[in-house]
Amino acid sequence: MDISTFIFLALTAALLIYGVMIYNNLVNLKHNVAKAWSNIDILLKQRHDELPKLVETCKRYMTYEQETLEKVLRARGAVASAREQHNVPALGQAETQLRLGLGQLFAVAEAYPELKANESFQHLQGRITGLENAIADRRELYNESVNLNNVRIEQFPDVVVARFFKFGPHALLDFGEEEKRDVSLKQLFD
């Protein structure tokens, strides 16, 4: 075997090994996105299961706030639907509506001292607030995983391997503008 054949085989082997390393890294990124989504999905499911209990507890006290309770239940259904379909953009919109509804529900609860003092309400409110905070943390982790994946599949030489093996981008989980706006305390207490 002459030197040129040896160099050709060595370069081919090096390129093959490098391609395998890129492929394995892309697979790892793809699975990190899936794992981050799964972590959010678990928390969404837990919150989904807690919301009817909260609404039922509130119904006993809130005789004039049916619209607020119905808004929370409608948003809960939209979140569940988007979650089941793995529709991240629709989930972001539904989450915004649910969070606004919960904020309104907790603000309205201030007008019902018996409800605020109810142990079940306090427990559910704390549980849902804890889940909301955990979802926000997991959302940050999910978006970071998505960002790493999306950047990597656009960088050279990874883009070549990514296109060949059909690695695609993932959508960020964004909440609507209403979620980002400052809360109007005056509006809450009018």
88-123 pLDDT, tens per residue? 889 988 988 999 889 888 888 888 888 878 888 889
Catalogue all structural domains in the chain, each as residue range(s) with its CATH number: 15-189 (1.20.1440.20)
User: At residue 61, does pLDDT exceed 80?
Assistant: no
Whether residue 150 contacts residue 170, with contact meaning beta carbons closer than 8 Å, is answered with yes
Q: How do residues 138-189 score in pLDDT, each as one tens digit?
A: 999 999 999 999 999 999 999 999 999 999 999 998 876 554 444 444 444 3
pLDDT at 176: 66
The closest alpha carbon to 126, from 111, 116, 136, belongs to 116
Name the residue with higher pLDDT: 13 or 111: 13
CA–centroid distance for 56 within its chain: 26
Separation of alpha carbons 121 and 45, rounded Å: 19
Amino acid 14 reads A
11: helix, coil or strand? helix
Supply angle C-alpha 12, 25, 165, rounded to 5.
Answer: 70
Q: How many helices (H) and strands (E) does the chain have?
A: 8, 0
Phi and psi, residue 126, nearest 5°: -65, -40
Global confidence as pTM: 0.77
Q: How do residues 42-60 score in pLDDT, each as one tens digit?
A: 999 999 999 988 888 888 7
Whether residue 30 contacts residue 149, with contact meaning beta carbons closer than 8 Å, is answered with yes
Separation of alpha carbons 145 and 23, rounded Å: 17
